Structure 1
Amino acid sequence: MTTLFIADLHLSAERTDITDCFLSFMQQEARGADALYVLGDLFEMWIGDDDNSPFHQQIKNAFKQLTDSGVPCFFIHGNRDFLVGSHFSRETGVQLLPQHSIIDLYGTPTLILHGDTLCTLDEAYQRYRKKVHNRFIQWLFFRLPLRYRQRIGDKIRSSSSQNNQAKNMTIMDVTPDEVSKVMAEHNVLSMIHGHTHRPGVHTLIVGGKAATRIVLGDWYDHGSVLVCRPEGNRLEKRDFSNQY
């Protein structure tokens, strides 16, 4: 019995090493899981379900083959792929979840999310996030030709990279008080998220009780998978040079 969690792969046609590791993971390890959860930023940028490039089709096919094999797959939007929509879901069999979702992880109620909403000290990002999640703005964006959306997406990627380099690393991490607040609001003592690219297992106190927060790793230098079993959870690496 195994449930797998991944996040922050930032898949793109330029990083074939990440893509190859991901495809091997999907074809082999994920096939034996009870379920696979993708907690956002699967793609470096997603500008709409109508972007049917050969690269995107390759990734969608990998999900379709996995779900067709009987492994349920779930997806929570990240800050790079929040425009993944219902057409993607129908094509792949992947089930889209709300940004904050509670699952029963082998008897433990666990809150799963991408994690960007926890970084409340990064006020500039939170303002940006509020704008791009506005339904009217998204409606306007989707009415632009695909080539224009691609240009906008490229500019956003470049701007985000420059802005992050100038930011203090502290404000780009989660706010501890926000973590406790969100866990208390959802009445859970277990949380799993990505976004910060700082993998680890953290203990904290929520409502006077011991709680656990697991942060998923990114896939920049190696694959990163959270392997959950009834007997416990473990963050593991997957080497790009040694495929499955």
Structure 2
Amino acid sequence: PADALFILGDLFEVWIGDDAALQPGFEADCGELLRSTAERLPVFLMHGNRDFMVGPAFAAHCGITLLDDPTVLSLHGERWLLSHGDILCLEDTDYLAFRAQVRTPEWQAAFLARPLEERRALARSMREQSEARKQTPEMLWADVDTSAARGWLQRSRAKTLVHGHTHRPAQHDLGDGWQRIVLSDWDAAAHPPRAQVLCLSPAGPQRVDLR
């Protein structure tokens, strides 16, 4: 059994505000599942590019802890640097500009002031635009910048960066004893389904398929 659960972003396809979980439906059901999980072990959640609007009210209701990006985890005598990973994709300049805009308190306050259904419609539109961008040639190779990743590791005094976002599960040697571990995305509807976790134990990191 695990001692703790770390979710490094994009637990939800979209999150339009904590008040969405106050109504019966998918968001409320997810909240109850998180709450029941948090009663058994500590649960930590980092914002991703899809669910960056998850707020302290929902976290408190579920009994989970929101993490900064990046976060250093000290475990088994090692320092692990945890990140969603999107901010390190330096070639994706359009997305980084969008990210900077939507992470401001002013943008988020204006978004949350809209009616719930209007927020749902806007989120669907942004999601469709995001999916369309993924098919463009420049997005097919946009990835974490190696120099930036090395800089993060050096400043944090960690040896391993663990992140998601790119959906390209792999383990990269960055030189000088540093490495980058990329998590898989989850998709139960894929063929075959994808549901993989990374276990950090005294023996080292190990990928486990939960399919």
**What TM-score comes out, normalization by structure 2 length?**
0.93
Corresponding position of 2:183: 216
Amino acid at match of 2:19: D
Q: Is the 8 A contact 2:44 2:64 kept in 1?
A: yes
What residue number does 2:8 align with?
39
Looking at structure 1, the residues matched to 86 and 137 of structure 2 have their Cα atoms a distance apart, in angstroms, of 15
Tell me, yes or no, if structure 1 residue 79 matches structure 2 residue 49: yes
Where do 1:2-81 residues align within 5 Å? 32-52=1-21, 53-69=24-40, 71-81=41-51
8 Å contact kept, 1:122–1:171: no
CA contact (8 A) 1:121 1:171 kept: no
For the aligned residues, what is the CA RMSD? 1.2
The alignment partner of 1:51 has SS state of: helix
Partner Cα distance (2:137, 2:108) in 1 = 27
Q: Deviations over 1:10-69 (max 9, x none)?
A: xxxxxxxxxxxxxxxxxxxxxx21100000000000000010242112211111111112
Structure 1 moving runs of 4+ over 4 Å: none
Give the whole-Å Cα distance in 1 for the aligned partners of 2:165 and 2:97.
17
Structure 1 spans left out of the alignment, 5+ residues: 1-31, 240-244
Which residue, out of 113, 120, 127, partners 2:83?
A: 113
Percentage identity across aligned positions? 35
Give, in angstroms, the shift of residue 167 of structure 1. Answer: 3.6
Q: Does 1:225 align with 2:197?
A: yes
SS in 1 for 2:177: strand
Q: Secondary structure at the match of 1:50?
A: helix
Residue identity opposite 1:81 in structure 2: D
Q: Distance in 1 between matches of 2:38 and 2:210?
A: 22
Which residue of structure 1 lines up, in the alignment, with residue 71 of structure 2?
A: 101
Which of 110, 127, 130 is matched with 2:97 structurally?
Answer: 127
1:236 is paired with a residue of what secondary structure? strand
- Residue 131 (structure 2) aligned to one of 150, 156, 161: 161
Question: What SS class does the counterpart of residue 11 from structure 2 fall into?
Answer: coil
Which of these residues, 96, 109, 134, is aligned with residue 139 of structure 1? 109
The higher relative CO (CA closer than 8 Å, separation ≥ 6) is in: 1
Deviations 1:181-226 (A, max 9, x none): 1212222111111000011111112xxx311211100112320111
Asked whether the equivalents of residues 67 and 94 of structure 1 are also in contact (C-alpha less than 8 Å), the reply is yes
For 1:167 and 1:229, the matched residues in 2 are separated by 39
Aligned to 1:177: 147
Please give the secondary structure, in 1, of the residue aligned with 2:58. helix
TM-score (structure 1 length as normaliser): 0.80
For residues 144-180 of structure 1, the C-alpha deviation after alignment (integer angstroms, 9 at most, x for no partner) is: 1101101100000000000111142454211111111
Give the number of aligned pairs. 204
